[in-house]
Amino acid sequence: MRSDSGHTQSIWMDTAEVPEFPALMKDATADVCVVGAGIAGLMTAYHLSREGKRVLVIDDGPVAGGESSRTTAHLSNAFDDRYYNIEKMHDARTARIVAASHTRAIDDLEQIARSEGIDCGFRRVDGWLFMGDEDRRRHPDILDQELEAARRAGVSVQHATHPPIPGRDVGPAIRFANQAQFHPVKFLAGLANAIVRRGGRIHTRTHAKGIEGTEQGAKVETSDGRTIRCDAVCVCTNSPISDYVVTHVKQAPYRTFVIAARVDGSAIQPGLYWDTPDPYHYVRLMKGDGSAEDFLIVGGEDHKTGQEDDAESRFQCLEQWTRERFPMIGEVAYRWSGQVMEPADYLAFIGPNPDGAPNVYIATGDSGNGMTHGPIAGMLLTDLVLGRKNEWAEIYDPKRVALRSASTLLEENLNVAKQYRDWVRPGETDDVANIPPGEGAVVRRGVHRVAAYRDEQGNLHERSATCTHLRCVVHWNSTEKSWDCPCHGSRFDAYGNVVNGPALMALGAPEQDDSRPRATRIPPEANAS
């Protein structure tokens, strides 16, 4: 399968096919409309359909075409921001609920895969947290802190003298029992078919341009002029498109990088492996079936979305780090990147839209636990839509404000404010003739900024470089061939079409730089000069 979320191909995209569904061609009604066909959206649609609700799912790409196909697919209750940080930021009760919800998420996904007969390579494994080289010298007690906090949260953990990494002594570790791994695209393909069997409808290549909630119900407007009327809308689009500001000032977008190297799987104990630096590294083995190859999948080296274009050096650092610890790996066969949303207080935002719009719900803020936040969203949003109480609702409430996160919020929003200086800076090139085929650059023309892309045939395509969310200047991502916003993480393809929210509308034509651009999808041939 191909993804709409970038130019690179993950191992999951290359080893699975997803069912195809038609675009929405007429107005529709449903009990619940789910926007987004990734793991959060499809898990929500599945649970609602099991409750007898008429569910309609829309996505502007294929099933699993967004960030769910760019994960490393760890299923873990070893919370990536650490339980001792949850206790400090919130309290011990919150840490216990975090642990319980992520544990339940793994169980839920396993039960669904089994009951629906989804062959997705689900496998229970241990997880191992070990210290980075610098942490071993400067923070030698960090594992002890996490061991005790995880135990207080109810997680099954043990001290280990070292993880089963054969290439290098990385020191002591914490063993998290009963973690899991799976093939995310195969699972989502099977889940989509299960939703349809239960009466749900799925429409891909259908772009939501507006979402409205009232006490009487909700509606979704598409860029093709269709209207979906429903009792409730669940927005599961990685970064929410129903909330213009509130959530986006409480979380920050990061690009994360992944490599998959060929390896003899018998040389490495299957498991999940994480180290402690910030950003940290995360590792798992993908065992091939029969004659298929084994791969070691390693991620990390994160940076803020749209603020650096140095993926090549990030991939090189990942490979070097991996070869030092797993010297038995062979050729790096896959390289890709994905986008994660980092909430300032560590917890995901799953619940009612924070602007107060009735009957509109969101799921975002996944940080490094998106594969378990998806099942959590499926269970929690279903309860909220049905009016049932759920003990997880309070800690994941998108309206919450954690006072202890104030310093992080200030730091991240000062970073956003600095990005508006791009309006007074020179462009990335002063002449579009300097842009080689397959690349893009921002050009300054008076007070305007133009996003100029030259396709592989040499044709030049120009759009406004102004993000249609809050008017930051987008930057070119040479690895994913996209225009990325450095403020709140909106992303657009090379021709200006929305790839990732919170932006709803395509980049405008250059002459529309100071007006609100039309909500449309731009065919590449329409932009050729």
Nearest residue to 37 via CA among 60, 6, 59 = 59
Instruction: Please give the average per-residue pLDDT across 364-373, as a whole number.
Output: 92
pLDDT computed for residue 527 by the predictor: 38
Residue 410 — pLDDT band, cuts 50, 70, 90? Answer: low
Interior/surface letters 413-433, b for 16+ CB within 10 angstroms, e for the rest: beebeebeebeeeebbbeebe
Of 417 and 381, the structure prediction assigns the larger pLDDT to 381
pLDDT computed for residue 147 by the predictor: 97
Lowest-confidence segment of 296-300, 341-345, 447-451 by average pLDDT: 447-451
- Return the percentage of the chain with pLDDT > 90, whole number: 72
Q: Are 106 and 176 in contact (CB under 8 A)?
A: no
Cβ neighbors of 308 (< 8 A, separation 6 or more) are none
The predicted model scores a pTM of 0.91
Instruction: Please give the average per-residue pLDDT across 363-384, as a whole number.
Output: 95
Cβ neighbors of 62 (< 8 A, separation 6 or more) are 1, 2, 3, 4, 18, 20, 37, 204, 205
pLDDT computed for residue 401 by the predictor: 81
Instruction: Please give the average per-residue pLDDT across 459-463, as a whole number.
Output: 93
What's the CA gap between 36 and 395, in Å, rounded?
A: 23
What's the CA gap between 175 and 159, in Å, rounded?
A: 6
Residue at token pair 């090189």: 316
Interior/surface letters 116-137, b for 16+ CB within 10 angstroms, e for the rest: bebebbbbebbbbbbbbeebbe
Residue 329 — pLDDT band, cuts 50, 70, 90? Answer: very high
Domains of the chain: 121-181+253-343 (3.30.9.10), 425-527 (2.102.10.10)
Residue at token pair 């000069």: 529
pLDDT exceeds cutoff 70 at 446 = yes
Instruction: Please give the average per-residue pLDDT across 99-128, as a whole number.
Output: 97
Give the containing element (helix H, strand E) for 445.
strand 439-445
pLDDT exceeds cutoff 50 at 529 = no
Cβ neighbors of 164 (< 8 A, separation 6 or more) are 128, 268, 269, 271
What's the CA gap between 431 and 450, in Å, rounded?
A: 11
pLDDT exceeds cutoff 90 at 31 = yes
Task: Sheet containing 491-493: give its strands across.
Answer: 475-477, 482-484, 491-493, 498-500
Nearest residue to 59 via CA among 191, 206, 212 = 206
Residue 522 — pLDDT band, cuts 50, 70, 90? Answer: very low
Give the containing element (helix H, strand E) for 407.
helix 406-419
pLDDT computed for residue 9 by the predictor: 93
Helices (H), 57-152: 83-89, 92-115, 133-138, 142-152
Q: Residue 260 pairs with which residues in a beta bridge?
A: 297, 334
What's the CA gap between 452 and 509, in Å, rounded?
A: 11
What's the CA gap between 161 and 158, in Å, rounded?
A: 10
pLDDT computed for residue 423 by the predictor: 55
Q: Are 377 and 363 in contact (CB under 8 A)?
A: yes
Of 338 and 445, the structure prediction assigns the larger pLDDT to 338
Lowest-confidence segment of 131-135, 147-151, 359-363, 371-375 by average pLDDT: 131-135
pLDDT exceeds cutoff 90 at 323 = yes
Lowest-confidence segment of 301-305, 306-310, 311-315 by average pLDDT: 306-310
List Cα–Cα distances, 152 to 146, 148, 344, in angstroms.
Answer: 10, 6, 23
Lowest-confidence segment of 16-25, 146-155, 287-296, 377-386 by average pLDDT: 287-296
Q: Strand, helix or coil at 308?
A: coil
pLDDT exceeds cutoff 70 at 405 = no
Q: Are 20 and 212 in contact (CB under 8 A)?
A: no
Lowest-confidence segment of 256-270, 393-407, 451-465, 473-487 by average pLDDT: 393-407
Instruction: Please give the average per-residue pLDDT across 215-228, as a whole number.
Output: 96
C-alpha 407: how far from chain center: 24
Instruction: Please give the average per-residue pLDDT across 401-423, as a whole number.
Output: 65
Q: State the number of CA atoms in the 13 A half-sphere of 250 facing the CB.
A: 25
pLDDT computed for residue 290 by the predictor: 58
Lowest-confidence segment of 10-14, 286-290, 465-469 by average pLDDT: 286-290
pLDDT exceeds cutoff 80 at 407 = no
Instruction: Please give the average per-residue pLDDT across 165-178, as a whole number.
Output: 90
What's the CA gap between 60 and 36, in Å, rounded?
A: 8
